[in-house]
Amino acid sequence: MTVRLDKWLQVARFFKSRADATRACETGRVKVNGTTAKPHRHLAVGDRVEIEDHDWPRTVVVHELRDRPVAKAVAATLFLDESGPRPAPDPMQRLLRRPPAQRAAGSGRPTKKQRREIERWEGEDR
């Protein structure tokens, strides 16, 4: 039995959807046996899959092939995880991901008066 790579990645719960798994394969973040793999590649038992997941590169060996969704406990038995533990999050990276400025709650759209003031400020810069 063979299963498409993108289906297996979704069934094994590496990605939430098959579309996400396909996108990861197309962007080169998934390798099978050391070579970049396309989403339609067929897996076999014993294949080594390398997944580049943000700051956590994962390496897994395929133990079982499934093409239908399974329970979370069963999904964990489909592969042998050879990657180390997830690294601790970098607090600086977390701060950089935040939006640059927060809007005041309930401020909504500017009123006509506020809009005219904004236009007046912008006109002074010219």
Count the neighbouring beta carbons within 10 Å of the beta carbon of residue 6. 25
Show the domains of the chain with their CATH numbers: 3-85 (3.10.290.10)
Q: Per residue in 54-69, pLDDT tens?
A: 778 999 999 999 999 9
Output the DSSP codes for 25-85.
Answer: HHTT-EEETTEE--TTPEE-TT-EEEEEETTEEEEEEE-----S---HHHHTTSEEE-S-P
The answer to whether the predicted template modeling score (pTM) of the entire model surpasses 0.75 is no
Q: Per residue in 81-93, pLDDT tens?
A: 998 888 888 888 7
